[in-house]
Structure 1
């Protein structure tokens, strides 16, 4: 189980920082691929923690494959998200300060499939994202992507 806190003065104090990566995967219609996380029931971009022995780009590629069944290649860095006001508490007592790099990708193959970490997967129109139950940090990443920034977000 996981609980995300954002700008919450009652959030527990972090005891770890784990680099992670998320990925923006789009289709030919401009829809964004989202998963519904099993651990908090929120819609999110595919992504997860960095493993020893891989680059952060490989983390994003692996997480997309594991969580969606799709093969992707990295196109660009969309943003770096390290806001200390975003804290994630896990049921085992770990409390992480956010440290995530978000990448844009290009699909190269694969077949959509839900894994054990999610309950649903959907190609989502940018116009529909506001209606979804989603953590503010995910909305921020998606909004930065949709702004078509000339350089990655740093924050």
Structure 2
């Protein structure tokens, strides 16, 4: 039986690189975001998770769907996948790691080995679209 972990993520690009984060005690980076709480819509999850992880406020009127991606879940049993529903949005505030986030980094296509499996798919897609180098 396949189990899917449903996550919402924020794609933020700057100078043809994507913002990624790394949790404490983890090696791989991932695209900021997380799991929805009971009854939450995608946008609510996105705004809450990004504020918890990076201490910035997303501008709700700028949120746009950027794609949905699936891959095997890192560090989980075989048959468990992650579905990452991605959005772009502008923000107010200064990016700074909060909560479980130890580090943030601006990654490019050459950093594929540093990101989670589902994040690799996102980076590959952004590279094909010439949005990241």
TM-score tier by shorter-chain length is 0.7 to 0.9
CA distance in 2, matches of 1:143, 1:127: 7
Q: List per-residue Cα deviations over 1:52-93 (Å, max 9, x = no partner).
A: 121023212222221122333422232242x4x446539xxx
C-alpha contact (below 8 Å) 2:69/2:121 kept by paired residues: no
> Which has the larger helix fraction?
2
Taking structure 1 as the reference length, the TM-score comes to 0.65
- Equivalent runs, 1:6-155 vs 2, <5 Å: 17-27=4-14, 29-72=15-58, 73-81=62-70, 83=71, 85-86=72-73, 88-89=75-76, 97-124=80-107, 126-130=108-112, 132-148=113-129
Q: 1:87 to 1:36 in 2, by over 3 A?
A: closer
Distance 1:79 1:45 in 2: 13
- Aligned residue pair count: 127
Partners in 2 of 1:80 and 1:127 — Cα distance? 17
CA-based RMSD of the aligned residues comes to 2.9
Rounded to whole Å, the distance in 2 between the matches of 1:87 and 1:96 is: 11
User: What's the secondary structure of 1:89's corresponding residue?
Assistant: coil
CA contact (8 A) 1:21 1:60 kept: yes
The answer for unaligned runs of 5 or more in structure 1 is 1-12, 150-155
Query: Structure 2, unaligned stretches of length 5 or more?
Result: none
| Bigger radius of gyration among the two | 1
Q: What SS does the aligned partner of 2:26 have?
A: coil
- Answer whether contact 2:10 2:89 (CA < 8 A) is retained: no
